[in-house]
Amino acid sequence: MSVANSPTAQSSPLTMYEKLWQNHLVENNEGETPLLYVDRHLIHEVTSPQAFANLRFHKRPVRHPERTIATMDHNISTRSIKIDAAGEGAANQLRALEKNCKDFGIQLFGMGHKNQGIAHVMGPELGLTLPGTIIVCGDSHTATHGAFGALAFGIGTSEVEHVFATQTLRQTKAKTMKIEVKGNVGTGISAKDIILAIIGKTGSAGATGYVVEYCGEAIEALSMEERMTVCNMSIEFGAKAGLIAPDQTTFDYVEGKEYAPKDELFAQAVSDWKQLKSDESATFDTVLTLEAKDIKAQVTWGTNPGQVTSVDGIVPSPEDFDDAMEKESCMNALSYMGLTAGTKITDIHVNKVFIGSCTNSRIEDLRAAANVVRGFTATNQSVQSAVDAIVVPGSYRVKEQAEKEGLDQIFIDAGFEWRLPGCSMCLGMNDDVLKEGDRCASTSNRNFEGRQGRGSQTHLVSPEMAAAAAITGHFVDLNAKV
Amino acid sequence: MEKFNTHTGLVVPFDIANVDTDQIIPKQFLQKTERVGFGKHLFHDSRYLDHSGKEPNPDFILNKAQYKGASILLARENFGCGSSREHAPWALEEYGFKVIISPSFADIFYGNCINIGLLPIQLNNDEIDQLFAQANKEELKVEVNLTNNTISFAETCFSFKLDNFHKYCLEEGIDSVGWTLNKIKTIEAFEAKMPNWQ
C-alpha cells in the first residue's frame, strides 16, 4: 500500500481484515456508519436493473464506470448463445443490461464474448480480482474473491446503486474468525470437502457477523482455484466474507493476467500485497481449528449446507442432535429430502448430476471430474441410463481450455451433456431446473428447499463425487475403491 | 424511503428457523427489471399449492384468516440467509410487512432491510419465545417505537438495539446515496492517495 493509506507504524497487531478495512476507510465519522472505498464492482443482469433505474430517476452518473465490469451469467441459456433462448423474462433482463451498460459507459462481457462467464470465475481469470482490494457484486458468492486476500462480499441492489453513484459503501465492522486447517488432507480430498467439513462443524449460521480468515498448512497447500472453492462457500455458514492471505501462489496466478498490473506496477503491487497477511500476534474474536487428516469426502444430506456428513457415514436421526431447533431442522430436512435416518450415504441414488457453478466450474474442477470419468470409462462404464448429467463450464475461457485438453470429449463419450457457460442449475433461473422428486448430485453451493427446482432434492458434493455418482447412479467412496 | 417512527401492527408467528431468501422469493420471480410486483410471490412455494400461484395452501400461516393484514413478522434464528437478493425484503415490504423480529438475521439481508426502510429487530431468545407464546395463544398486536427502541404489548416492553446511523436513516427516510454524494470531496481526497496499481 502507499504510505498515505497504509496502516501507520503499528501500535497494535492487526488481522488481514483489519488491514483491508483501514486501507479502504474513506471516512469514519461519529454517528455514521463507516464509509469504505470499493475498488472493483462486478455486475450481472439480475440484481442491477433497479439500481440503474434509480440512477436515471435521480439523474446520477456512474462515478467510475471503469471500475465496474458486467457479465451475463445468472439466467442465460446453456444450450444457445442467443439472448432469447432463455425465455422472455431473461431476455428482457439481458437486453436491459446491454442498454444500461451502453448508457452508463460500462464494459459488458455479453453473450458469446470471449471473456463472458460467471462473475466469480471471470473476475479472477482476467486479473480483475486483485489482492488488497475491496470487490463487491450483487451476489452472495462474491466471497469467492477472498481467495486472493481481497475483501469481497455480496451486496443488495440498493448497495449496487450506492457503489455506482459513489464508488463507496457504508459498512459496519464485522467480527473476526480464524479457521486453521492443520496438516495435510488425505489423497482424493478436495477443496469442496474441506469447506463442507468446516460448515459441518460450524453449522449453517456459525459465522454470521464475522469475516473469516482461512489459514494453516492445508489451506496454504491449495491452488488458487481450490482456494476460491473454499472462500466461495463462506456465505454458507453466514460469514460476510472469507479471506486467504496472498502468497507466492497468489502472485504467480495473478501475474500476466489481462487486467492485472504489469511490470513495475506489478512489482509495487506485490510488495504492498505482502504486507496484507495478519500480524503474527493479531487476535481474532473466534478461533476454530480442524485437523486436515480427519477430513473425508463430504455429501450433504439435508436442506442447508451445514447438514453434511462424510461419504462413509449414514443419514443422521433427529435424536442425534441435542439442540431442539436442530432436531426439528433435521426432521424437516429428512422429510423434504425423502431420506430415512440410518441410510448409508453410498446407498443414496440420484437421477440428476450437475457439474458447474461458481463453486466448482473452473478448469481444475473439470479436470478432476474428467479424471474420475476416465477411470470408469477404462472399464467400459458410462453415465447410468437413469441419470441425466450435465457439465457447465464457468466461463468461455474455461470452456475453451477444457476443449483444448479434450475434456469435453471425455464427458460426452461417457454420456454427459457438455453445455455453454453460465450459473445454470445452481439456482435454476434458466431452463436448467430440476423437477419435483428429482435427486441431484450437485457441485454447487446451496441445497435449500426448492433451490434447484420446486420439490427437488439436492446433495452438495465435489466434482469428483458428482462424476462418480453420474456413472454409478449413487454416491461412491472413491477412496475406498482404490 | 418512507420515514419510520412508530408502528402498531398484527404479529404473525412464523415458527421456522433458517428461512433463506430462496424461500422468501424463489428465483423464477427475479426476472423483473422493475422494483414492484414481488409481494404476490412472497413465500411462493409454501404459500401456493400450484406452480402458477392460483391455489393458496390453506395450511400456510400467512393464508390463515386470523393473520390477514399482519404487518409484523415474528421469525426464528438466521432469518434471510443465503442469496443477497434484495427482492426478498422488497417482497416482504410489498406484502405489507413493516417490521421483522428475529433472534438473528443473515448479514446481507439485514443491511438490505435497513436500506429499504423495513425495520429488522433483534431480540434475545427469551423475548422471542415470549412473543411466540403470546402470538400462538391469541391475536397479538404490538407497538414498535423507533424513537425509544421499544416493542410493547399489554404490560410487556422489550428494548432493542439499533445502530445510531441506521436509526437516523430510518427515522428521517434518508436517501443514503444522496447523503454520501455530499461527501464527494472526502472521496476524491481518498482517491488521490490510492496506490497506482489499485
Q: Which chain B residue shows the shortest CA-CA distance from A4? A: B193
For the cut 70, the answer to whether the pLDDT of residue A9 exceeds it is: no
User: What amino acid occupies position B41?
Assistant: H
pLDDT for A97 equals 98
pLDDT for position A309: 98
Average confidence score pLDDT of chain B: 96
Cell of B92: 416482504
Contact partners, residue B194, CB within 8 Å, separation at least 6: A2, A5, A37
Q: Is A140 helix (H, G, I), strand (E, B) or coil?
A: helix
Compare CB distances from A161 to B83, B165, B177 and report the shortest one's residue: B177
- Report the distance separating Cα B104 and Cα B122, nearest Å: 6
Contact B180 A168 (CB under 8 A): yes
Cell numbers that stand for A206 in this block: 456459525
* Average pLDDT value for chain A: 96
The ipTM estimated for the assembled molecules is 0.97
Which residues in B lie closer than 8 A to residue A154 (C-beta atoms)? 84, 108
> Which pLDDT band holds residue A10 (cuts at 50, 70, 90)?
low
How close B167 comes to chain A (CA, Å)? 10
Is B108–A156 a contact, with Cβ atoms under 8 angstroms apart?
Answer: yes
Of A210, A232, A269, A253, nearest in space to A119 by CA: A232
Express each pLDDT in A98-119 by its tens digit: 999 999 999 999 998 999 999 9
pLDDT at A479: 87
Contacts of B184 in chain A (CB under 8 A): 166
| Helix A88-104 and helix A49-58, axial crossing angle in degrees, nearest 10 | 40
SS3 at position A32: coil
Contact between chains at B195 and A35 (C-beta distance less than 8 A): no
Of A161, A266, A304, the CB nearest to B18: A304
Q: What are phi and psi of A316, to 5 degrees?
A: -75, 170
- Closest partner residue to B186 (CB to CB) among A27, A205, A450 is A27
Contacts of B34 in chain A (CB under 8 A): 49-50, 53
Angle between helices A396-404 and A119-126 (to 10 degrees): 70
Judged by CB atoms closer than 8 Å, whether chains meet at A170 and B180 is answered as yes
Answer yes or no: is pLDDT of A5 > 90: no
Q: A89 to chain B nearest CA, in Å?
A: 5
pLDDT score of A129: 98
Which residues in A lie closer than 8 A to residue B30 (C-beta atoms)?
Answer: 46, 74-75, 429
Q: Is the pLDDT of residue A246 over 50?
A: yes
- Residue A441: predicted pLDDT: 98
Contact A448 B23 (CB under 8 A): yes
**The pLDDT of residue A1 is above 50:** no
B185's CB contacts (< 8 A; 6+ apart) are: none
**A339-362 per-position pLDDT tens digit:** 999 999 999 999 999 999 999 999
Q: Any bridge partners for residue A185, and if so which?
A: none
Q: Which of B82, B107, B187 sits opposite A167 (nearest CB)?
A: B187
**C-alpha cell, A66:** 471503469
Q: Is the pLDDT assigned to residue A204 strictly greater than 70?
A: yes
pLDDT (tens digit per residue) in A247-279: 999 999 999 999 999 999 999 999 999 999 999
Which residues, in sequence order, are CB contacts of B137 under 8 Å at separation 6+?
Answer: none
CA dihedral B124, B44, B1, B166 (to 10 degrees): 20
What would the pLDDT profile of A399-447 be if each residue is shown by its tens digit? 999 999 999 999 999 999 999 999 999 999 999 999 999 999 999 999 9
Q: What percent of chain B has pLDDT over 70?
A: 100
Cβ contact A133:A40 at 8 Å? yes
C-alpha R_g of chain A: 22
Contact A460, B94 (CB under 8 A): no
10-residue averages of pLDDT along chain B (198 residues): 94 96 96 96 97 96 97 97 97 98 97 97 98 97 97 97 95 94 97 96
Residues A100 and B33: beta-carbon distance below 8 Å: no
